[in-house]
Structure 1
Amino acid sequence: MIHLIPPFSSADAQSVVPLSMALVGFLMFWFVFHSESIRRVFHSRMEHDAACLWHIFTTKAWGFVTMAVFPAVVLQYAIGKSPVDLGLVWPAEHNALIWQWTLGLGSIVMLVAALGARKFDPQYPQIQARVWNGSMMALNWLGWALYLAGYEFLFRGVLLFPLVETFGEWPAVAINTVLYSATHVPKGRDEAIGAIPLGFLLCWVTLQTESLWPAILVHILMAWTNTTARFMRHPQMKWKGQ
């Protein structure tokens, strides 16, 4: 007998649920972040710089909800995977060598981000305010931290640990890296290509430490360096008082 819909087992759920929740969570963020209607709401009610700040900050905070909180709740109840099972735990002390690699990787990506910022890119900083101050920069950094914590939970947590159990380490890392690079395609060729080695290394560090924290910290440091350097070199942005 031909089954139009194959039987769905609990073993299938271990990969299908994480993949599905990753897709749903990412798209929930993506469509809100790129919604022109939502952007207009902020700009119709605030002056330009404040609207730029709160539009980006709010949508990044929304990304934390859709890519971390939402998948965490679903995976906990659907397949019994807690946030700890997905890597939300501090690395063990015996992984001191991995921390050295993490610091080294963090230094490298910060240097690459700083060097890359020498080339003007109109999409950065994402907050397109003209006059910045300390509070705006702090909220910019906080927004990136929230967003990237959720982003890493999605990729190096939801899309890694359950798939390792189902497919093995190499297939899981390959799937993860392919999807990670694909999400960077809209940002241009350089970011899509750069996401391949970075995604692989972040998966490797995560699996070695069995923790998301190294990947989260490396990614945040890279984003902070990039956005700050981009601001400093942007010809139409200035610090308050300049």
Structure 2
Amino acid sequence: MNIPAWNSTYLEPILAFALVTIGFSVYHFVSISDKVKAKYTAKYGSERGNTKFLWMTRYLGATTIGIIPAIVLLIITGKGLEDYGFAFKNHTTSLAWIGGLACIIIPMNFFNSKKEKNLAFYPNVREKEWTKKMVFTNALTWVSYLFGYELMFRGLLLFATVPLLGEWPAIILNAAIYALVHVPKNLEETIGAIPLGVVLCLITLTTGTIWVAFFVHITLALSNFFFSLKHHPEMKVI
């Protein structure tokens, strides 16, 4: 058997794939760990313990999926954050994309959030009474998690694979992996992640920045959270 020859251009994409695999695996298995959750429920009680456990896993995801991989990749490759889309540029185009997609996402989530199927799962925090501090903290954990998420998918993984594979193969591969990480949720979100993943990758490559994808993803998550909280018959803000 002939061992394939090594090429230095393979290092960056291989690192990106390895880091997303390790980072997401750590996040996923901690998030479904009954032992870890039991420690929170034992300390804070069943309801509040589940809430704090969920918030912890979002911060963990931001760290293991995005922040730590970014640090590792930057150190090893010697590149800067701007090489992975962590840059503020093309402001007019970026704002147009954010505003345009928000005009689609917000009304869609408003009507979708009323559905029984949505309310059975969202908001993810299942407490009946919410303080304003809880609303703020839940929103903050979403923002933190999605920052790490977009830093990895539309940042590290996308920009690391384009030079080797080309734009379209990198986009399709990115969208495929993005869909796969939604499999533990449900079929609808897994299917929906495919076109969304393609669109966000295209926007990221054309604007050269991950910030459009980040703010669009925040709009998607937070509007669903706020509307689901508003429409849930058993929940209220006190």
TM-score normalized with structure 1 length = 0.91
1:79 and 1:50 map into 2 onto residues whose CA distance is 42
Aligned ranges for residues 1-150 of structure 1 at < 5 Å? 2-3=1-2, 5-93=3-91, 96-120=92-116, 121=118, 122-150=120-148
Q: Kindly provide the amino acid, as one letter, of the partner of residue 229 in structure 1.
A: F
Aligned ranges for residues 88-237 of structure 1 at < 5 Å? 88-93=86-91, 96-120=92-116, 121=118, 122-237=120-235
1:222 and 1:98 map into 2 onto residues whose CA distance is 16
Structure 2: segments with no counterpart, 5+ residues: none
Asked if the contact 2:93/2:207 (under 8 Å) is kept, the reply is: no
Higher mean C-alpha displacement, 201-210 vs 116-125:
116-125
Asked if the contact 1:75/1:82 (under 8 Å) is kept, the reply is: no
TM-score normalized with structure 2 length = 0.93
Higher mean C-alpha displacement, 135-144 vs 192-201:
192-201
Asked if the contact 2:86/2:210 (under 8 Å) is kept, the reply is: yes
2:102 aligned counterpart, secondary structure? helix
Asked if the contact 2:54/2:125 (under 8 Å) is kept, the reply is: yes
- The CA RMSD measured in Å over matched residues stands at 1.6
1:139 and 1:154 map into 2 onto residues whose CA distance is 23
1:21 and 1:235 map into 2 onto residues whose CA distance is 41
1:235 aligned counterpart, secondary structure? coil
2:84 aligned counterpart, secondary structure? coil
Structure 1 residue 49, shift from structure 2 partner: 4.0
Q: Kindly provide the amino acid, as one letter, of the partner of residue 98 in structure 2.
A: T
2:82 aligned counterpart, secondary structure? coil
User: Deviation per CA, 1:12-43, whole angstroms, max 9, x where unpaired?
Assistant: 11221111111111111111112111111111
* Aligned pairs, number: 236
Structure 1 residue 125, shift from structure 2 partner: 1.1
Higher mean C-alpha displacement, 98-107 vs 194-203:
98-107
Residue identity over aligned pairs, in percent, reads 33
Asked if the contact 1:102/1:205 (under 8 Å) is kept, the reply is: no
